[in-house]
A and B are shown apart, each in its own frame.
Chain A
Amino acid sequence: MSKDKPTYKEHRVEREWCKGCGICVHFCPKNVLALDQEQKVMAARPEDCICCRLCEYRCPDLAIEVICED
């Protein structure tokens, strides 16, 4: 039985909540994320996202949600 990989839609970021600690950026296995000029997280290379959601889980500010379709 094959299981399709989830399809990446978007990173939803609660910009007001993000404190720019950089944990998500540093530990993203595919180097998808970056901090913008205001030190808020953004998906710089969304096409590389594999929907592992580690950024969402690790975020101390609960500011990230990765939207994927199964």
Chain B
Amino acid sequence: MTQPWSVLAVALVTVTTLLVGLFGLRMARATTDFYVAGRTVSSWRNASAIGGEFLSAASFLGIASLVFERGAPTAWLPVGYTLGYLVLLVLVAAPLRRSGAYTVPDFAELRLESRAARLVCSALVVAVGWLYALPQLQGAGVVLRHVTGWPRWVGTLVVALVVGANVAVAGMRSITVVQALQYWVKLTAICIPAFVLLAVWLRDGRPAPTGLTDGWWDPVPGPSSGPGLWLTYSTLVALCFGTMGLPHVVVRFYTNPTGREARHTTVAVLVLLGVFYVWTPLYGFFGRIYLRDAPADDTLVLRLPDVAVPGVGGSLLSALLAGGAFAAFLSTTSGLVLSVAGVLDQDVVRPRAHRSPATSFRASTALAVVTPTVVALAATPLRLSTAVGYAFALAAATFAPLIVLGVWWPRLTGPGAIAGMLTGATTTAVSAALSGQVPAGWAAALTEQPALWTVPLATLVSVAVSLATHTSTPPHSLQTLQRLHTPENLSAGS
């Protein structure tokens, strides 16, 4: 069944994204009174940009369907997505900015003065990026199928092509204003239909769903029954510590002029994400009222308005949501592809292929898009939140020990960090491969949400190997730490 309004909205979002990417906004404004340099990106604008790139389809569509299916306890997920920024704020935001690193591999190279640590980091950035991009690409297929009835691969290919073309042709132009606008587009798209649904529900006078909020304080219910408390804490650990390692989030912190501004930005992100995540679980709530017997999948949010508000009104609201969801697919995917392509270009393609920077960057972009697209087409569709959760778990088990120890512990060595990251990556991959094949109960819980044991394990390995290899402590370790922790205005005089 084709939904013309939704198709129009999706097409509009896609074409706009393509045009903005290809032609830019001509927005580096020419100024006659030229005091441009004072015009650094303000922390609120930068926070909006982070929000715009961070709020993926998992947030936009995934949470609602989980709340619908499993009840209020899944509201821990948006809590976790937001809390990650609190951890970022407290532990690493300002030092990371002061380090002057643009990406996590840069940070590793700077802090550990080791080329090998940089390469391991780069490979993991690629892994996390692909893992995160995968559900976005698949989700696009699912949404487009829902809207048009076309097969799943169409949507995946549309997003892959638009993002690939944008990144390859426009170079790595990730304009802060455009990304900032994305946040407000998404907030509008999720907010307005929610208000309408709320009004309709109050007028209908339908009873509130029973059982939805029962035990909201309970742990997150997993796909298989198991020790629930473990799942909750493990999920929270993955989300809290994974955020600091997400490649498309880290690069945004570079735009802040100082460490202090980086902190302000993080606080602003907390506010903006908090505002956004108020709305998503509401859709699960309305789903229990209006779509009681519907199957739980990621298109729940899109189906709701049509049922609750029959007629053109409902179609328009659906269209708004579909457009918002597509904007989420496109912005998150392009942020990820940009980061992955940048890393591939810097560390794999350019050092070998002695081509012009533009050519090698295009080759890297192709590699960065094609791989997750092929996997997305070949693999069974994932539930958005599940797959994104794995990207977080991987980032948490690999980058969090590196960054937190790197920022706070002077004795971290290159071999220690590498051992930690490899431990985190291996344990996460093994858990993922084993999950679903082990009996329900503790074994299932440990493999389904591994972060609570992989993160401490990776940290311990990092510490132990660092202590064992104390002879290869980076020569400038203390100077680097001093630099990370000294506010800019203090060092300005020197």
Q: Does B bind A?
A: no
- Which B residues fall within an 8 A CB radius of A? none
